Amino acid sequence: MLNLLLNPKHKQTMKRIIVLALLAAICYTSFAQTREEFEAAIINMNSQMPISLGPSGEVQSAAIEGQYVVYDIVVNDLGNTMSKGVLTPEKYKDIFLTFLPVSIMSTQYSYDFFSAMIELNMGIVFHVTSENTGDVISATISTQELNKAINSQPDFKKVLDIAVMNTKASYPINTYGITLVDSELKNGYWVNTAIVNEAEVNFEAIQENAEQVKEQIKNMIVSATDQVFNMNLFYCCMAGHGYSFDYASSISNKHVIISFTADELMELLSSIQE
């Protein structure tokens, strides 16, 4: 049943954003003192392309064009958000800059890389192509915007809002008679709502096994088997929210809610063995 609760599909977009925020640090092992050293780092990065983003797509190339590092990215555009005008260049840019302080907090390499860009008065251009529709958006980030972002504290409430928004954009997802239909912040929790098709799934079994399922989730968190899921839980903690699954039967409209408070999440994440 755990696989039904934590289907990886709804985390693809979130994973893509996290990877992009960390991408610039790939294979960058020392602070570049000169333009030549920085260019060599980009050439080294590009030699490892394409870099997979998992089911979400791939980064196909990185290059320096004038005063910009240009990334060409192909994505599995969940929900065709680009063609629908939901994912715009400004939105993509806002997402990147929102997650960049989290990346800086996570790794020294990321901080060194962007510091080098700022010292060299460089920015970033993302050319993002939808694998589904062929639509393209381009987002440009200036040196000044990078400088502000890497010297800012993460706004975890905004980070959490974006994480929820992108999860919701990937719904509905149906797996073995359980359909994830909504993702929202409600009453201090990140709530994922699922409809249980009682023609296929015994709802009473979910009720009876709710505590065992919660224990399985706890074990998964502590063992860090799904780092993206754990990152989402970390966002919840830092924003002061809990996390829950709300299962609603398709016939009787009964509910089974499996919840973790912010304190529970923090305790579980703190117990992860490095």
Domain boundary among 101, 123, 153: 153
Whether 126 and 190 share a structural domain: no
Whether 74 and 175 share a structural domain: no
Does residue 260 sit within a domain?
yes
| Of the listed ranges 2-11, 54-63, 238-247, the one predicted with least confidence | 2-11
Q: Could you give the number of structural domains in the chain? A: 2
Higher per-residue confidence, 64 vs 28: 64
Whether 197 and 227 share a structural domain: yes
Residues 75-123 pLDDT 10s: 877 667 787 887 889 988 998 999 899 888 777 778 888 888 999 999 9
Nearest to 49 by CA among 58, 39, 38, 37: 58
Whether 47 and 129 share a structural domain: yes
Does residue 247 sit within a domain?
yes
Residues 230, 227: Cα–Cα separation, whole Å: 5
Determine the number of helices (DSSP H) and then strands (DSSP E) in the chain.
11, 10
Q: What is the model's pLDDT at position 189?
A: 97
pLDDT at 13 over 70: no
DSSP H or E stretch at residue 166:
helix 156-169
- Give the list of residues 6+ apart from residue 162 with CB closer than 8 angstroms, or none: 17, 95, 98, 99
Q: What is the model's pLDDT at position 28?
A: 45
Residues 242, 237: Cα–Cα separation, whole Å: 7
Whether 51 and 94 share a structural domain: yes
Does residue 1 sit within a domain?
no
Q: Mean pLDDT over residues 10-33, rounded? A: 46
For the sheet with 255-260, list strands across it.
Answer: 173-175, 178-186, 189-196, 242-249, 255-260
Whether 146 and 59 share a structural domain: yes
Does residue 243 sit within a domain?
yes
Does residue 183 sit within a domain?
yes
pTM as predicted: 0.77
Percent of the chain with pLDDT over 90: 48
- Residue numbers of the domain that contains 78: 11-153
Q: Mean pLDDT over residues 181-186, rounded? A: 95
- φ/ψ of 6, rounded to 5, equals -120, 50
Does residue 28 sit within a domain?
yes
Higher per-residue confidence, 188 vs 40: 188
| DSSP single-letter state for residue 10 | G
Whether 143 and 213 share a structural domain: no
pLDDT at 224 over 80: yes
Percent of the chain with pLDDT over 70: 85
Please, is 19 exposed, middle or buried when counting C-beta atoms within 10 Å of its C-beta (0-12, 13-18, 19+)?
buried
Residues 61, 58: Cα–Cα separation, whole Å: 9
The enclosing domain of 236 has a CATH number of 3.30.300.250
Whether 51 and 127 share a structural domain: yes
Does residue 5 sit within a domain?
no
Most confident by average pLDDT, 103-117, 201-215, 224-238: 201-215
Residues 118-161 pLDDT 10s: 999 999 999 999 888 899 999 999 999 999 999 999 999 999 99
Range list of β-strands (E), 44-133? 51-52, 57-65, 68-75, 123-130
Whether 182 and 243 share a structural domain: yes
| Of the listed ranges 50-54, 203-207, 220-224, the one predicted with least confidence | 50-54
Residues 244, 233: Cα–Cα separation, whole Å: 10
Does residue 78 sit within a domain?
yes
Whether 90 and 177 share a structural domain: no
